[in-house]
Amino acid sequence: MSTSGASPEVGASAEELHYFVCDLARRTGELQLSRYDDPGEIKEKAPKDLVTEVDLLCEEFLIDEIQERYPDDAILSEERGGEISATGRTWLLDPVDGTANFARANPIFCACISVVEDQEVKHAAVVAPRLGDVYHASLGGGAFRDSKGETYPLRVGETENLENAFVGADVSFQGGDDPRKNGTLEVFRRCWQVRSIGSAGIRGAWLAAGYLDVSIGTRNTAWDYAPTVLLVSEAGGRVTNLTGGPWTYDSDGLIASSGDTLHEEVLKLTASG
């Protein structure tokens, strides 16, 4: 992939770029729906880590569209890989987030598209086509949900303490004694309710919309977490890495919440694991 240092505004304004991101998300969602009942061959990339024909089909579509429109941009995608540009603009892609759900015709799946530069997420979109929603945000421009031809601003909820919080996380407790999992389990014990939905993209979007209060991710998958970083921040929430520092592309996880007081409570518990 190219690592050109071309300016993000060359050939397109920020508004035009954001429109393209949202339109590309919608078209990817349409492609997912066209194969909703026919995911094709399902393989394991690793134990319990699935990839379907539709993942690869959507990824090829996304990369082809981006390279045609912005040939100098770098691309990092879940299945094909790639790289993050040190000097220019990069697209982070998860063509089907929630593949295990999609493989079972569970409607909780999405596509995640983010545009990043200089360690900042500038544009992001999460399309959940089976739910009829497109969540999108631009840096400094707010966060929104498009649904049934209408656009609604996003705002995080007002929950200030964990005992009243809805917490979203997708953590497997099989395997070794990982302190991060122990800390997450303590968060589960102290919150009001837990939501494990199988899609990091939708989880982050729902936090930005106020449907959840906390989102915890314990993997290093920038294409999954970048949309949450921008959506939640633009909706008035807080996002950090697992130790409370700034989230970066190589962070080993993410904590997002509706506000500082709740966030500090979660950080303290996850650190105690």
Transcribe 16-70 into DSSP letters. Answer: HHHHHHHHHHHHHHHHHHHTTT----EEEEETTEEEEHHHHHHHHHHHHHHHHH-
Q: Looking at residue 163, what is its pLDDT?
A: 97
User: Residue 15: CB partners within 8 Å, gap ≥ 6?
Assistant: none
Task: Identify the band that residue 4 occupies on the pLDDT scale cut at 50, 70 and 90.
Answer: very low
SS3 257: strand
- Whether the pLDDT of residue 172 is over 90: the answer is no
pLDDT of 272 above 70? yes
100: left (phi over 0), alpha (psi -120 to 50) or beta: alpha
**pLDDT at residue 43, rounded to an integer:** 82
Report whether 133 contacts 111 (CB < 8 A): no
* CA 215/CA 195 separation, integer angstroms: 9
Q: Give the pLDDT band (50/70/90) at residue 240.
A: very high
Amino acid identity for residue 74 in this structure:
A
Task: Calculate mean pLDDT across residues 235-258.
Answer: 95
Interhelix angle 260-271/179-190, rounded to 10 degrees, is 130
- The pLDDT value recorded for residue 99 is 95
pLDDT value at 5 more than 50: no
pLDDT-derived band at 206 (thresholds 50, 70, 90) equals very high
Of 4-18, 43-57, 64-78, 169-183, where does the model show the most confidence? 64-78
Least confident of 64-73, 176-185, 215-224, 256-265: 176-185
Q: Quote the pLDDT of residue 8.
A: 38
Q: Is this structure's pTM higher than 0.85?
A: yes
Decide which of 6 and 43 is more confident.
43
User: Do residues 56 and 102 make contact, with C-beta atoms less than 8 angstroms apart?
Assistant: no
Report residue 59's pLDDT band, with 50, 70 and 90 as the boundaries.
very high
Mean pLDDT of 182-200: 93
Out of 52-61, 102-111, 116-125, 165-174, which region has the weakest mean confidence (pLDDT)?
165-174
Reported as a single tens digit per residue, the pLDDT across 87-138 is 899 999 999 999 999 999 999 999 999 999 988 999 999 999 999 999 999 9
Residue 141 burial (CB count, 10 A): 15
Supply angle C-alpha 145, 143, 253, rounded to 5. Answer: 105
pLDDT at residue 75 greater than cutoff 80? yes
What is the phi/psi pair of residue 95, to 5°?
A: -65, -35
Answer yes or no: is pLDDT of 141 > 90: yes
pLDDT computed for residue 197 by the predictor: 94
Q: Radius of gyration of the chain from Cα atoms?
A: 18
Looking at residue 11, its pLDDT comes to: 46
Torsion of CA 120, 123, 129, 132, to 10 degrees: 120
Backbone torsion region of residue 203, taken as left when φ is above 0, otherwise alpha when ψ lies between -120 and 50, otherwise beta: alpha
Q: How far apart are CA 267 and CA 244, in angstroms?
A: 7
Residue 7 has pLDDT above 50, yes or no: no
